[in-house]
Amino acid sequence: MHLERYKVYKTLIEDIFSDPEEAEETTFPATDQDLLILTEKFLAFEIPSKVFLQAIAIADYDGVAAFRYVDNYLTTRKNKNKRKHKKLLVLGASTKFDHN
């Protein structure tokens, strides 16, 4: 009897995981250690408190998604700063030549 149940459960599990559309992604909340790492990632930047609180809220139910959120935010911010810096260099160079 137990062997038959095992076979049925095993078959059900195999069916679920063999079809990617049916398989649900398992999420886990961030650990205390994960939260410390997330916080350390933000320490080098001045960020809005709502961004930090959003990362913590996401981490409460999905630690991996929280790290993706933080990484995406910081990457976007770095890219914006690079573009801003390039524009300033170009503007600075053009005003130099105007004064000669």
pLDDT digits (tens, 9 = 90+) for 6-65: 454 455 556 555 555 544 668 899 999 999 999 998 888 888 999 999 999 999 999 999
pLDDT at residue 62 in the model:
93
The number of distinct structural domains making up the chain is: 1
| 3: in domain | no
Inside any domain, residue 73: yes
Asked if residue 79 is part of any domain, the answer here is yes
Residues contacting 17, CB < 8 A, separation 6+: 23
Quick one: average pLDDT of 73-100? 67
User: Is residue 84 in some structural domain?
Assistant: yes
Whether pTM exceeds 0.75: no
66 is a domain residue: yes
Q: What is the DSSP string of 52-77?
A: HHHHHHHHHH-HHHHHHHHHHHHHHH
Helix (H, G, I), strand (E, B) or coil at 96: helix
What is the domain extent for residue 86?
Answer: 28-98
Q: Determine, yes or no, domain membership for 74.
A: yes
* Tokens 């961004």 sit on residue: 51
**pLDDT value for 65:** 93
Residue 6 lies in a domain: no
Whether residue 1 lies inside any domain: the answer is no
Which pLDDT does position 45 carry in this prediction? Answer: 85
Number of other residues whose CB lies within 10 A of the CB of residue 13 = 10
